Structure 1
């Protein structure tokens, strides 16, 4: 297979570069040609499948994850099944009244094969995972590939509910990348990492997905997004293109009777949400004549334009100010962690007042001041209300800690603010992970601690405002002029997006109340700049929608917000029909939705999807 795949890669690379700049040298083209290693193929039929590993919608809805026969040493098949369960539930609202499987979407069994490999972009120290899911009913006459990138920092199955749930039932092959992040956690105490199939092995194994450079006596947990030294976000677009190139090369090998598959004769639609949405927009930059269409939902994307702000800027700002500002609101959404977050509001307000960041002599006045600061910085009240969830679950701090390390290209135990990662005791001190915790990292983790068996270790924790000192250090990396701050900001600058090529259909979808990746800082300035540059970008702004469909399983959130995935699938339907010559691209829309009442089922009227 390897020889055939390399030959196919040569054809793909030549086809992809045929319309590139005529001054590009053959040597430069060779350097850009992807090399895929550690290839493996698995078959999924007869009680197993590509979408849910045989769990089906009922199994995905189970509150308890699929079990391991031996929790300390699960098999590759067990890990895959559990990874699919975890990633479905992390992305989609699968509740019985949420509409998935009846009103929109499908988790019906799709038999087929999976092809896995590692790919490395030029100049990177470490590979990213790529995967192709090839359904048995793939239509070689239609030649459709959906290419996607995981949302957040998730592993290779992190876009299964986004791209797989639409592409596979439509007979398309689906290509994935973890875009240089993922859940290939290294346990520094035992010297073990993750193999291609998700099982664990010693760091001297030949097929590990991530093998960081380690200082002496290192302990705790290392993971690729924070510790690769590659600043993977700067290469998101190239990760997506390499996943598409892997798809074509694999199709040439798997379906030789229908070969060649090239960018010229195969439809390539890119889709992603959150970080995955930012990745597919990065893939659309410049010439990008290998892409036929892009659908990006709630994208983490930054451009140098009025109103735009970087993820690191607004996340560190929110991590500091939002816990206090939320005390200004009544009737905030409630999560299981809201009672814990509630008691930290007054201490944060007092700390900010003492630091001179806000004004006021009591908590109410201080909260008004923090709220005003965020409003002046561009936060809407709707985004702040939805951000309650991110405050409850400490997501802003989690983003800031990991991304500071990534942007600065810091190695293990070299974080500029002294943060490390490890399993933790109840008092948040570090401890060694158990064998069962290590075994489940690949399937259960989100790619950024805190999570199961791995948390953020902050040596500066101190009452009454426990996380303040660490957050002030993180914020200083955005605002100050020291060497560490300049290093982090240099990495941030490398993530700036360019404009999509003219004529490429691009649909951007964003929840107006997104409290993690606010629309005002990302999609709104991106769309305005793209349109000014002459790009064919359509924009759906969805009212009463926030960032996390998965959290709509919480009853209070279900009555306030509508899910985003129905709009992603609808946009893909419209784009696909347009490419078939059977419909028009969606027009810009400010979509007025109506969240469902408590205990009632989601209906089409609640969503008000344009054209339906």
Structure 2
């Protein structure tokens, strides 16, 4: 089930949490260098992957409070156990990893299990689970839940080994697509043909099973480690938050508590919307609507609005009326002004298109070159697509965030098609008819969450200003449905928190929003205390957090953390 197995030791200038970089090294603007840019070692790739994933999730800016008000980057020596794991019926393995600290608490026997946010690689939750669990003597088990940065390049052709280095097709690889006469770049989330989101809960449970398996090898004097004698807490944010909520519905008493932050979760309940639905809507309408909120207009805003009018999504005789119409449509769909303001970041980075293109492929279980809207992933220069350089390929695993566009990889429309026409094609896969639309909608339906196990302690944490996974579409319907069924789910709604802590180092964002990670850590404190001493779980709360002043560091009063 778990093979091949790779075990590495991390001590003496290296460690589990930061690979020896510490907080100062994580704050460095440039990534840790490779001695040979075309052939980095596994240790160099790991160090750089940790640097990249920390910076992609946490606000590490000096004024942001990480390491002083909340969180830890203390050096934690120990060992890592890595393997590929394959779910029954899956075509492609997911990565699993256990971090076993030397100072493992033998009395508590604690295992955190986590899933990466977004489509990040296996270290994608290091700042979420590792930062809380490892300094407390807990082991931490990770899964990339069928996503990650194991990009396959058809031009070479080559892919990624277990240790992050590249190897030719046919070697034991994390992902090798079985698509004849394909070209460009392939990645697991979009091209495995497994619809990994439908199996997120099973990925988490299998990662926990691997964690117990590796713990038995790591600490043989305390073996065996089983679900009956080991405390297992699941935690994740964003897609990882959705994954641990899906794990919570699986049968059996294997899981002791769950903390989900800003979860991408879909339930069949009033107000709920699927990510694909609101992402394709936002891709088409948000650039047109944002000026009506007083936000800067995109350079092509007039063309975006005109296209929306031609397709019948909005109306209006002039640009101002069209912008107001677009805003009205979004409001009627459940978007709040706070979510739209924060969502402007995703619009500016073209993230809605990137998400929709990749997820359409995953939901429809399409292979490489078979995207129903013709999208493809390539390396591209000023003159169009080109083969990637050896240095670019070597850094994909450590530097990528899992959903291209990313360093060295572009998302292209078919030749001759406008970007807006491509977005309308993506939207039609949700709102239109035809075999492709039915196929995508069936894939989305397979991701619907059920009720958590009865009696399972759970805390869901979400920012009221989240503009990528709005709480109105995700956590609020989930918690409402679970509570109506008598499940023990507590809900913290954090004022002035949005989706991306990592952007709070930008002055404009740090002065507008607070980080969400402190509340995820505090929720872990509370469920841990509940399991230790039967202390009461916290009440539902709207936490009145306040952003810091532009010229002041974050302090405890800003966070208003519940005790």
Scaled by the length of structure 2, the TM-score of the pair is 0.99
Query: Structure 2 matches for 1:262-341, cutoff 5 A?
Result: 262-331=226-295
Change (3 A) 1:47 1:286: closer
Question: Which residue of structure 2 aligns with residue 594 of structure 1?
Answer: 546
Tell me, yes or no, if the aligned pair for 2:201 and 2:250 is still in contact at 8 Å: no
Question: Which residue of structure 2 aligns with residue 397 of structure 1?
Answer: 353
Distance 1:72 1:324 in 2: 43
Tell me, yes or no, if the aligned pair for 1:220 and 1:431 is still in contact at 8 Å: no
Query: Structure 2 matches for 1:579-590, cutoff 5 A?
Result: 579-581=531-533, 583-590=535-542
Distance 1:83 1:175 in 2: 17
Please, which runs of 5 or more residues in structure 1 have no aligned partner? 1-34, 333-340
Question: Which residue of structure 1 aligns with residue 205 of structure 2?
Answer: 241
Question: Which residue of structure 1 aligns with residue 167 of structure 2?
Answer: 201
Change (3 A) 1:286 1:533: farther
Distance 1:318 1:417 in 2: 18
**Cα offset, 1:319, TM superposition:** 0.5
Tell me, yes or no, if the aligned pair for 1:422 and 1:456 is still in contact at 8 Å: yes
Question: Which residue of structure 1 aligns with residue 187 of structure 2?
Answer: 223
Please, which runs of 5 or more residues in structure 2 have no aligned partner? none
**Cα offset, 1:331, TM superposition:** 4.9
- The CA RMSD measured in Å over matched residues stands at 1.1
Distance 1:52 1:286 in 2: 33
Quick check: 1:168 aligned with 2:134?
A: yes
Question: Which residue of structure 1 aligns with residue 335 of structure 2?
Answer: 379
Question: Which residue of structure 2 aligns with residue 523 of structure 1?
Answer: 475
**Cα offset, 1:451, TM superposition:** 0.5
Change (3 A) 1:214 1:331: closer
Question: Which residue of structure 1 aligns with residue 498 of structure 2?
Answer: 546
Distance 1:476 1:604 in 2: 47
Distance 1:589 1:355 in 2: 42
Corresponding pairs, count: 563
Change (3 A) 1:461 1:535: farther
Query: Structure 2 matches for 1:424-503, cutoff 5 A?
Result: 424-426=380-382, 429-459=384-414, 466-503=418-455
Distance 2:454 2:504 in 1: 37
Equivalent residue in structure 2 for 1:506, among 458, 476, 481: 458
**Cα offset, 1:346, TM superposition:** 2.0
Residues 309-318 or 574-583, more deviating: 574-583
Distance 1:203 1:253 in 2: 31
Distance 2:63 2:202 in 1: 39
**Cα offset, 1:102, TM superposition:** 0.5
SS of equivalent to 2:118: coil
Change (3 A) 1:163 1:231: same
Distance 1:175 1:294 in 2: 14
Question: Which residue of structure 2 aligns with residue 29 of structure 1?
Answer: none
SS of equivalent to 2:140: strand
Question: Which residue of structure 2 aligns with residue 14 of structure 1?
Answer: none
Distance 1:436 1:362 in 2: 49
Question: Which residue of structure 1 aligns with residue 152 of structure 2?
Answer: 186
Distance 1:467 1:305 in 2: 33
Tell me, yes or no, if the aligned pair for 2:191 and 2:365 is still in contact at 8 Å: yes
Distance 2:59 2:210 in 1: 31
Tell me, yes or no, if the aligned pair for 2:100 and 2:218 is still in contact at 8 Å: no
Question: Which residue of structure 1 aligns with residue 28 of structure 2?
Answer: 62
Question: Which residue of structure 2 aligns with residue 348 of structure 1?
Answer: 304
Tell me, yes or no, if the aligned pair for 1:305 and 1:525 is still in contact at 8 Å: yes
Scaled by the length of structure 1, the TM-score of the pair is 0.91
Distance 1:498 1:541 in 2: 22
Change (3 A) 1:455 1:277: same
Tell me, yes or no, if the aligned pair for 2:259 and 2:524 is still in contact at 8 Å: yes
Distance 1:259 1:203 in 2: 38
Tell me, yes or no, if the aligned pair for 1:286 and 1:499 is still in contact at 8 Å: no
Question: Which residue of structure 2 aligns with residue 365 of structure 1?
Answer: 321
Distance 2:219 2:458 in 1: 30
Quick check: 1:406 aligned with 2:362?
A: yes
Distance 1:215 1:412 in 2: 9
Distance 1:246 1:55 in 2: 27
Query: Structure 2 matches for 1:53-132, cutoff 5 A?
Result: 53-132=19-98
